[in-house]
Chains A and B, each alone.
Chain A
């Protein structure tokens, strides 16, 4: 039997020779366009003016602290400073480095007040010269399950606290960040209430590991990392380390904290690094160290249990997450 079939391709369907021969040029054109877009994204500075904000300067006379974590490879400076959260400057990890370039951090002062015998406002210069600065290498574990290792510079927060002499009524310490919508226009879209507030129990704040931090990698803090002064609490998730502090208040009751206000179900007051207590939406059992391919197990109290676990004896850490 002969089946008559209409040919599905006719001569008019044939691609014109010029177009066929030109396909390589088309592909090159596509690559060139892609490249141009990438270049423009990479060097937006070609169009924008120079940054006018504060820039990091080298810190002299910094000693190595015995409290440093050993046996860890320090995260490259560019990774640690160009992949981080600072919601006032945008919610994407690359935003803080880009959007904080014009942030002015001088002059700066920190008011220390509340349940203390000697309330006092410290200028940034005073904070930098209170005691010799130490370099402390700490692991930092973000609640989003990535981590870095950073050589911070500063001294124990207790040094500053002891100067103002907290009274017997002081049970907690409340911190507040600087917030200026003019300098931080993206803060309005961050989805969290600003200014950022944080808090610690007094014993947590007075633990020697708790660092009042003014620098990293040998220099003063870059704007995107919380210049000019921030907290580092290495056994807690990164967001507990409040940035660009303007106020420290010793208080009687547990103070409100920003992420807890935003979502109490997901972010507790304590927020100790704990591989056994998952974030409701993702596991905290493992983490990705920036620069490493596979995930690594997360350590209880981020590996600082020897120094801090005793503060939580008898506490149900699932309840007080």
Chain B
């Protein structure tokens, strides 16, 4: 890999830029919210006459986008041989969690006005809410265990296993969207196709490594093997 790519990806500044890029949809949404509240002209057209629905959908959309981007990190870094991409994966995953928290809060606070009883009724009765809520809940342990300390405490293997829950959440997120729309299923299907490709790549990679590794395993000392397993993430 060219040295320039390496130095850009490992630069502290790059991380800040990526962070701000990830945050910019939220900044734009905040500006739109302020326009809607104070009646500024600049962003009003975007917010539509049903701002609550607009913000619910926008934050839901960004959640799915960040889940997809997070899931794309590993295939990209392996296929393009850019291991440094892993530096951004936690941040991207946490941004998916950040947007789903906004999504959930808008729905719970405004649609249900903090009424737990009503919220549970919806969660249990409406299948698209059931799967969406489940996907959200499954992200909580991942966000909680995203710190270096938690990785150490859990151990690489167990941590990795736990974080495969993102596959479930991604699938549930797509189903949630698919069940929500009335008739035009193109957008949910597009997300579904991307998630399917990203998960299929992992399956292919896993099969590939399984069929190739026995030979490699024989020659690599045990200790080194364990170390390799620790750092290898899916």
Contacts and interface: CB of A to CB of B under 8 A. Distances in A.
Contact of B28 (A26, A34, A281): A34
A290 B49 contact: yes
Given A34-B24, A38-B28, A281-B127, A83 B50 contact: yes
A101 B13 CA distance: 47
How many B residues are at the interface, by size bracket? Answer: 20 to 34
A80 B49 CA distance: 8
Contacts of A78: 49
Contact of A38 (B43, B113, B125): B43
Nearest to B20: A30
Interface in B6-44: 12-13, 17, 20, 24, 27-28, 31, 42-43
A73 interface: no
A262 B50 contact: no
Interface string A19-61: 1000000110010001100100110000000000000000000
B184 interface: yes
A191 interface: yes
Contacts of B17: 26
A27 B19 CA distance: 12
Contacts of B49: 75-76, 78-80, 82-83, 93, 290-291
Interface stretch (B70-78, B175-183, B190-198): B175-183
B141 to A, nearest CB: 28
B184 A189 contact: yes
Given A87-B183, A263-B183, A281 B128 contact: yes
A282 interface: yes
Please report whether the interface of chain B is mostly helix, strand, loop or mixed according to DSSP: helix
B183 A41 contact: no
Interface string B118-151: 0000100111100000000000000000000000
A282 B184 contact: no
A15 interface: yes
B224 to A, nearest CB: 22
A91 B53 CA distance: 15
Contacts of B110: 293-294
Nearest to A39: B42
A27 B17 CA distance: 10
Interface of B: 12-13, 17, 20, 24, 27-28, 31, 42-43, 45-46, 48-50, 52-53, 110-111, 113, 122, 125-128, 179-180, 182-186
